[in-house]
Amino acid sequence: MYAESLLENRTIDAPAEVEHDVDQPVENEATQQVERDLRRVPIHPDHWYPLAWSHEVKKGRAHGVHFAGDPIVLVRTETGKLFALEDRCAHRQVPLHAGVVEGESLRCCYHGWTYDCSGKCIDVPYLGKERLPNGVRAYPSREQGGLIFVFPGDPALADSRPVPELASVTDPKYKTRRLGREVKCHYSFMHENLMDMNHQFLHRRQMGNMRARSLGRRRGEDFVEVDYVFTREAGKQPIGESLVFGGGKKNETGTGGKDVMTVRTGYPYQTLQIRTASGTLVMDLWIAYVPLDAAQRTNRTFGVLSIRRPKVPFVMDLAWPLLVWFTERIFQEDRDIVEMEQEAHDKQGGDRNNEVFPVIRELRSLLRERGGRTVIPIYKA
Amino acid sequence: MYAESLLENRTIDAPAEVEHDVDQPVENEATQQVERDLRRVPIHPDHWYPLAWSHEVKKGRAHGVHFAGDPIVLVRTETGKLFALEDRCAHRQVPLHAGVVEGESLRCCYHGWTYDCSGKCIDVPYLGKERLPNGVRAYPSREQGGLIFVFPGDPALADSRPVPELASVTDPKYKTRRLGREVKCHYSFMHENLMDMNHQFLHRRQMGNMRARSLGRRRGEDFVEVDYVFTREAGKQPIGESLVFGGGKKNETGTGGKDVMTVRTGYPYQTLQIRTASGTLVMDLWIAYVPLDAAQRTNRTFGVLSIRRPKVPFVMDLAWPLLVWFTERIFQEDRDIVEMEQEAHDKQGGDRNNEVFPVIRELRSLLRERGGRTVIPIYKA
Amino acid sequence: MYAESLLENRTIDAPAEVEHDVDQPVENEATQQVERDLRRVPIHPDHWYPLAWSHEVKKGRAHGVHFAGDPIVLVRTETGKLFALEDRCAHRQVPLHAGVVEGESLRCCYHGWTYDCSGKCIDVPYLGKERLPNGVRAYPSREQGGLIFVFPGDPALADSRPVPELASVTDPKYKTRRLGREVKCHYSFMHENLMDMNHQFLHRRQMGNMRARSLGRRRGEDFVEVDYVFTREAGKQPIGESLVFGGGKKNETGTGGKDVMTVRTGYPYQTLQIRTASGTLVMDLWIAYVPLDAAQRTNRTFGVLSIRRPKVPFVMDLAWPLLVWFTERIFQEDRDIVEMEQEAHDKQGGDRNNEVFPVIRELRSLLRERGGRTVIPIYKA
C-alpha cells in the first residue's frame, strides 16, 4: 500500500540537479571550517526543546533532566500544573528533583527550602518569612503531542517562537510510535545521518540493497530539505520494511510513479515524510536531538513516528511489533555509526569529514549558521 | 529511657540567640571566599588520623591505605608491633603492601628489598650490605579504641598532639558500634552535614517530622559547637529512632525537660553527644573524615557510636540489629546528599553555597582557618 | 632433561663482572633522565610490529587493531591476500573494519566507499568514477610464524628492515605455545621485568626460592643481553617449573654444570633462551610489546614460546596443560606488578626508579637511545 509500491508509481521529473548534486567539484571544506568546527558549535538555546515525554512527569512528582549541561527540574503539581526550574537548590546546590512536591510548590529534600512555579523561595523552615533568600531560575514550559517542551534561552523570546505542532499524532488516520534514546554524539551527526540517504548501505541487513536518488534540494534561511526516490537494486523486501514503506503485494498503483521521501532540517528540528505520487502523507517522522551535557557530546533523541493506517486497520496493529523491531534495529545501526563518528572526531581533535554530497554540505552550513555563537571547549577524551 | 522522652523532659532556657541565629542579615559569603574556596582547602596534616580499624591489620600482614593521595602501608609484625611506612618500594615504586612481613621487617614482593620499622632498607638480596640504597619514609603510628592512627604531617609535632581518646568505648555502661564508608566528597561537606540539624527533613522517612531548635553556639580557637533540642511535629516515632533517642514508653522523666544534643567540630574531628536533662551522656558519637585522594574528593569515614545501655541490658542487644539498620539508612541518606553537593561543586567549578545559618558559617570559617595552607588544584570532573 | 638439571650440570666461568655488576657505585640516574623520562619515550615506528595472530584475520574478513593510537585495519581477501590500511574511511572517519570485504577490496559500512589494497578509493556508489576522492594510507604488511606484522613507520624503510624469524616455531623438535595479553603499562616496563631475573622473588609461589646470578652482560648498538645461572635456595621444584626448566629426575648431566639463560633485548624485540652446558637450546621465547594507545600506557604482548621436546615425546603432550597453567600464572604475576609500576609512575608524574642493577641501567639507556625522537605528552591519570 505504502512507500515502495508508491515509489514505483510516480513519474519522476528527475531534475538536472541530481547529477549536478554529485558531480560538482568537491571543494575542500577546510576553508569553511577554519572559523568553526561544526562539532564545537553549540545548539542555539532560543528554541523550544523537548526535555521529557509527558508520561515521565507524573502528578505530584518532580523529574530531573538536562539541557546542554544545565540541570532542569520538571514539576507536575497535584492539580496537574507543569513548571520547570533550575534543578539546584539556592542553598546548597543539591538537585531539587530529589525534593517533594507540596501542593503547587517544590520543597528541597535537604533542609526543606521551598520554591513556587516562578522559582521564588517561599519558605525556609528555620528562617523568618521576611528574610527569605533569593530563589532559582524558572524556564518557560509547554506540553504538546505527548512531549514536554522547555525554552532554555532568553525567556523574553519564548512566546514569539513556535512550539512544534505534531499534527499526525492527533489524527486518527495515523498510528504513532515514540522513539528515543541517548546517543553519545554531537547533534549535528544525527542531522547528517538522517539527511544523507546514501547511507542505505548501512542498513543492508534490514533493508536489502536500496539505492537512493536525490531529486534536488531547497534551502531557506532556517531550513534545508531534500527529496529522494528509492530503487531496490537486489534482494527481497524485508517484512519490517514493507510495514514502513508498504509491501509489493499491496501495490495497486503500478510502477510508473514512486513515493517521494522528503528529509528536512527546519532548525533545530528534523522531519522525514513519505508521500505517494498522489500526495498522500504515508509516513511522518518528527525528531529532535537534545544535547544533554555541556560538551554536547551526548544527545537525547525524541522521535515521533506516525504511519498512515491501511484500509484494513487491524492489519497494522498485528504487524506493529514487527515495525517496532524493525525501527529499533535500524535506529541501533544509526546510533552505533554516529557514535563511531564522534569517537573519531574526539581522537582526531577536529573535523576531518570529507563531504562530497552537496545536500550535506548545505546542511552543515545551516547548522553552523543557526547554531549558538559560542564555541564548545575542546573535549577531553 | 533515652533521647526523645528526655527531650521532652527538660526545661529549656531558650536563649535569645536562637532567634538571633536565624534572623540576622544574610551577608553574602562571597567576600570570605574570594581568597579561599572551602572545598579546595586541604585538611591539615599535623593531626592524628585514623587510617584503618585495628582488625584490618592482622599479625604478620601488611595493609595498604591512603591519606590525601599518599599511599601508606600499615604493618603488624609477627610479635604484634605496628608500624607505618610510605607504601612504595624505594627501588621501583611498587606498593610495599603487596610484600611479605618477615619477622619485624617488610620485604617488597618484586625484587625482595627489605625495610625495617624506621623505613631503612636493610637488605637487597643481590647487593652487598655496604651498598644498601636509601629507604622509605616512616610515619608515627598509634593504636587506640580499635583504630590505627597515623600522623601524616611533620613527625616532630606528633608527640605534642593528642591522640583522640574514645572514653565511652571502654566503658561497660555503653555499647559501641563502628560505622564507616567511603564517601565521594570533600571532608567539609561531612562536617556541615552533621552540624546543621535543620537537615532533619532529609531523614523524614526514618525520623518522621522532627524540628530542631538551636540553643546557641560556642566558638574557640580550634572548635565550634552548638546545642540543639528537638520537637516532634508530626508522625509516630519510628522504632529505629527510639533505640537511639529512647522510646516514649520508657519515658520516666515527664515532658518538662528535653535532651540536649551537642554537635562539635574540634578540628579535625567531630562529635555528637546527647545528654539528658540530668546530664547523663546517653549517646556519644566520635567521627573523623579522612581524605583518601590527592584532590580530597573522597573521604573514608571512621565513626564510633556508643549508646548507653538501658537498665534491662538485653533489651538493647535484641534491638541492636534494628539500630544498625536505622543508622545505616540515615548514613546512606547523608552520603547521597553530600555526594550530590560535591557533584554540584565540581560542575559549577566553585562554591556557590548560600549559607544562612550562622552556626554553619562559623564552622566554615573554622575549617578554612585550621585547614592546610595550600590550595587543592582544580578538580577535573 | 632441561633447565634446572642442566643449570646444575655446567661449569660456570663466573666472571669477575658478576660482583662488579652489583657492587659498583649506585650513581643517581637523575642526570640521565633530565632530558628524557623513559616512560615518555615512544617506541620507534620504523620496525615490523606484530599486530595480530594470523588466525585472528579470517578469509574475507576485516580486523581492527591499533598501533600507538593509530587505528589500522587488517584485511584478508577472499583469495587469501593480506593488506593493511588506516582504519578510517576517508569520508566520515568511521572504522573501515566494520565494513565488508568484496573480492580484493574493502567497502565502508556506512555510505559504501570502497578501497583497494593500496588504500585507493575505487568506488563511491553515488559519485562518478572520474570524481573519486582521495583514499586512505596503506601500511606494508607481512605474515610470518603465525603473526601478522605491520610496518607503521616510513614505508620506504620497510624492505630494508628484517621481519623477525621465529626459527623454533617451524622446527619439529620444538613444541610452541603462543601467549599474549593486554598489559596496562609502557613497553619499557615489560623489557625491564623480563631482563632483571632478580625478580624471581615475585614468583616464589610458583617457582620456590630461586636465586639468579648474572654472568655478565653484552651491549651492542641495538641490543643488550645478559646471561644468568640459577640456584634453588629452598623448597621443592614445582611440577610446572620442571616442564619449563626440566625436572631433577631427568637430570643426566650431573651437577657440575648449569643451564644458562640469556635474556636479550634486540630492539624492539626481546628473547629469552635457555641452553644446556652442551649448547642445546631447550627453551626459546620470542616476545614483542606493541603499544596500543597514543599515550603508550597499554601494550599488547605477543609471545612465542618454543620448548624442545623430550626424547619420549608424548610426555610433553601430557604435561602441556600444566605448562600452560604455570606460564599463565607467572605471566599474571608479572602483569600485575608492571601495572603497579605504571600506576606509580602516573601518580608520581615522573620516573622515580632507583635502579642499582647495571644490566637494567644499560637496558634503559638502550631503550632511550633506540626509541622514537618525540616525547609522549603527560598522561592524565
Domains, chain A, in order of start with CATH, read 3-42+166-370 (3.90.380.10), 49-160 (2.102.10.10)
Asked if B107 and C201 come within 8 Å (Cβ–Cβ), the reply is: yes
pLDDT of C174 over the 80 cut: yes
ipTM: 0.85
- φ, ψ of residue A326 in degrees (nearest 5): -65, -50
Question: Can you tell me the mean pLDDT for B336-352?
Answer: 95
Q: Which of B198, B205, B342, B355 best tests the A interface by mutation, with the highest count of A CBs <10 A?
A: B198
Query: What integer pLDDT is reported at residue C197 of this predicted model?
Result: 95
Instruction: Assign C357 a pLDDT band (cuts: 50, 70, 90).
Output: very high
pLDDT of A276 over the 70 cut: yes
Q: Which chains touch C (3 or more CB pairs under 8 A)?
A: A, B
Question: Can you tell me the mean pLDDT for B311-317?
Answer: 77
Task: List the grid coordinates of B72.
Answer: 601508606
Rounded to a whole number of angstroms, the distance from the CA of C342 to the nearest CA of chain B is 9
Distance CA B186, CA C16 (A): 58
Residue of C157, C161, C163, C160 whose CA lies nearest to C142? C163
Question: Can you tell me the mean pLDDT for A226-240?
Answer: 77
Q: A360 in helix, strand or coil?
A: helix
pLDDT of C26 over the 60 cut: no
Indicate the residue type of A286. W
Question: Can you tell me the mean pLDDT for B106-129?
Answer: 95
Q: Is the dihedral of CA B343, B348, B349, B350 positive or negative?
A: negative
Scanning the structure block, which residue is given the C-alpha cell 501542593?
A103
Query: What integer pLDDT is reported at residue C172 of this predicted model?
Result: 92
Distance set, CA C326 to CA B295, C175, C177, C242, C243 (Å): 41, 16, 12, 10, 9
Q: How many helices (H) and strands (E) in chain B?
A: 8, 19
Scanning the structure block, which residue is given the C-alpha cell 554529485?
A22
Task: List the grid coordinates of B90.
Answer: 624505594
Convert the pLDDT of each residue in C187-238 to its tens digit. Answer: 999 999 999 999 999 999 888 888 899 999 999 999 999 999 998 876 666 6
A331 to chain B, any CB pair closer than 8 A? The answer is no
Residue of A217, A315, B87 whose CA lies nearest to C347? B87
- Which residues of A are less than 8 Å from B354 in CB distance? 90-92, 133-134
* SS3 per residue for A6-54: HHCCCCCCCCCHHHHHHHCCCCCCHHHHCCCCHHHCCCCCCCCEEEEEH
Tell me the percentage of chain B whose pLDDT exceeds 70.
Answer: 84
pLDDT of A317 over the 90 cut: no
Read off the DSSP letter of residue B222: S
Query: What integer pLDDT is reported at residue B190 of this predicted model?
Result: 98
Mean pLDDT over all residues of chain B? 86
- Which of C25, C212, C337 faces B110 most closely, judged by CB atoms? C337
Contact C301, C183 (CB under 8 A): yes
Helices B187-195/B358-370 angle, 10° precision: 150
Distance set, CA A84 to CA A92, A141, B341, B364, C23 (Å): 19, 6, 21, 32, 74
Return the bridge partners of A86, or none: A72
Question: Can you tell me the mean pLDDT for C85-90?
Answer: 98
Query: What integer pLDDT is reported at residue C78 of this predicted model?
Result: 93
C335 to chain B, any CB pair closer than 8 A? The answer is no
Convert the pLDDT of each residue in B27-67 to its tens digit. Answer: 444 444 455 899 999 999 999 999 999 999 999 999 999 99
pLDDT of A195 over the 70 cut: yes
Mean pLDDT over all residues of chain A? 86
B88 to chain C, any CB pair closer than 8 A? The answer is yes
A26 to chain C, any CB pair closer than 8 A? The answer is yes
Question: Can you tell me the mean pLDDT for A360-371?
Answer: 97
Rounded to a whole number of angstroms, the distance from the CA of B343 to the nearest CA of chain A is 9
- φ, ψ of residue A99 in degrees (nearest 5): -85, -165
Q: B205 in helix, strand or coil?
A: helix
- Which of B23, B26, B353 faces A93 most closely, judged by CB atoms? B353
Q: Among A41-45, A268-272, A323-327, which stretch is predicted with the lowest mean pLDDT?
A: A323-327
B337 to chain A, any CB pair closer than 8 A? The answer is yes
pLDDT of B365 over the 50 cut: yes
pLDDT of B245 over the 70 cut: no
Give me the sheet containing C141-144, strands edge to edge.
Answer: C49-53, C147-150, C141-144
Length of chain B: 381
Cis (ω within 30 of 0) for the bond into C268? Answer: yes
Asked if B69 and C347 come within 8 Å (Cβ–Cβ), the reply is: yes
Which residue does chain C place closest to A193, by CA atoms? Answer: C110
Query: What integer pLDDT is reported at residue C325 of this predicted model?
Result: 85
pLDDT of A278 over the 60 cut: yes
A110 to chain B, any CB pair closer than 8 A? The answer is yes
Q: How many helices (H) and strands (E) in chain C?
A: 8, 19
Question: Can you tell me the mean pLDDT for B141-166?
Answer: 97
Asked if C126 and A337 come within 8 Å (Cβ–Cβ), the reply is: no
Scanning the structure block, which residue is given the C-alpha cell 639468579?
C212
Asked if A127 and B211 come within 8 Å (Cβ–Cβ), the reply is: no
Asked if B354 and A128 come within 8 Å (Cβ–Cβ), the reply is: no
Task: List the grid coordinates of B268.
Answer: 579535625
Indicate the residue type of B286. W
A340 to chain C, any CB pair closer than 8 A? The answer is yes
B166 to chain C, any CB pair closer than 8 A? The answer is no
Read off the DSSP letter of residue C88: S
Question: Can you tell me the mean pLDDT for A163-179?
Answer: 93
Mean pLDDT over all residues of chain C? 86
Instruction: Assign C173 a pLDDT band (cuts: 50, 70, 90).
Output: very high
Question: Can you tell me the mean pLDDT for B362-370?
Answer: 97
Scanning the structure block, which residue is given the C-alpha cell 572520474?
C130
Query: What integer pLDDT is reported at residue C22 of this predicted model?
Result: 40
Burial of A81 (0-12, 13-18, 19+ CB in 10 A): exposed
Instruction: Assign B234 a pLDDT band (cuts: 50, 70, 90).
Output: low
A132 to chain B, any CB pair closer than 8 A? The answer is no
Scanning the structure block, which residue is given the C-alpha cell 579535625?
B268
Q: Which of A210, A228, A340, A379 best tests the C interface by mutation, with the highest count of C CBs <10 A?
A: A340
Cβ contacts from B onto C, under 8 A: 64
DSSP β-ladder status, C138-139 and C82-86: antiparallel
Query: What integer pLDDT is reported at residue A235 of this predicted model?
Result: 62
Q: C222 in helix, strand or coil?
A: coil
Query: CB-based contacts of A169: which residues, under 8 Å, 6+ apart?
Result: A145, A146, A176, A304, A306
- Which residues of A are less than 8 Å from B198 in CB distance? 111-112, 125-126
Task: List the grid coordinates of B51.
Answer: 587510617
Distance CA C47, CA C139 (A): 12
Query: What integer pLDDT is reported at residue A316 of this predicted model?
Result: 79
User: A4-13, A161-170, C46-55, C301-310 — which one is most confidently predicted on average?
Assistant: C46-55
Question: Can you tell me the mean pLDDT for B159-180?
Answer: 93
- Which of B199, B354, B355 faces A110 most closely, judged by CB atoms? B199
pLDDT of C283 over the 70 cut: yes
Read off the DSSP letter of residue A231: E
Of residues B323 and C80, more confidently modeled = C80
- Which residues of C are less than 8 Å from A198 in CB distance? 111-112, 125-126
Query: What integer pLDDT is reported at residue C249 of this predicted model?
Result: 38
C64 to chain A, any CB pair closer than 8 A? The answer is no
Query: What integer pLDDT is reported at residue B156 of this predicted model?
Result: 97
| CA contacts within 13 A on the Cβ side of A311 | 3
Tell me the percentage of chain A whose pLDDT exceeds 70.
Answer: 84
Q: Which of A110, A114, A137, A293 best tests the B interface by mutation, with the highest count of B CBs <10 A?
A: A110
Q: Which of B193, B201, B229 best tests the A interface by mutation, with the highest count of A CBs <10 A?
A: B201
Contact A194, A287 (CB under 8 A): yes
Q: What kind and span of H or E run contains C193? A: helix C187-195
Query: What integer pLDDT is reported at residue C14 of this predicted model?
Result: 33
Convert the pLDDT of each residue in C65-76 to its tens digit. Answer: 999 999 999 999
C347 to chain A, any CB pair closer than 8 A? The answer is no
C377 to chain A, any CB pair closer than 8 A? The answer is no
Query: What integer pLDDT is reported at residue B210 of this predicted model?
Result: 83
Rounded to a whole number of angstroms, the distance from the CA of B55 to the nearest CA of chain A is 35
A233 to chain C, any CB pair closer than 8 A? The answer is no
Asked if A112 and B356 come within 8 Å (Cβ–Cβ), the reply is: no
Distance CA A148, CA A52 (A): 5
Chain-centroid distance of CA B243 in Å reads 22
Of residues B184 and C25, more confidently modeled = B184
C127 to chain A, any CB pair closer than 8 A? The answer is yes
Query: What integer pLDDT is reported at residue B48 of this predicted model?
Result: 98
Query: What integer pLDDT is reported at residue B240 of this predicted model?
Result: 60
Query: CB-based contacts of B196: which residues, under 8 Å, 6+ apart?
Result: A111, B357, B359, B360
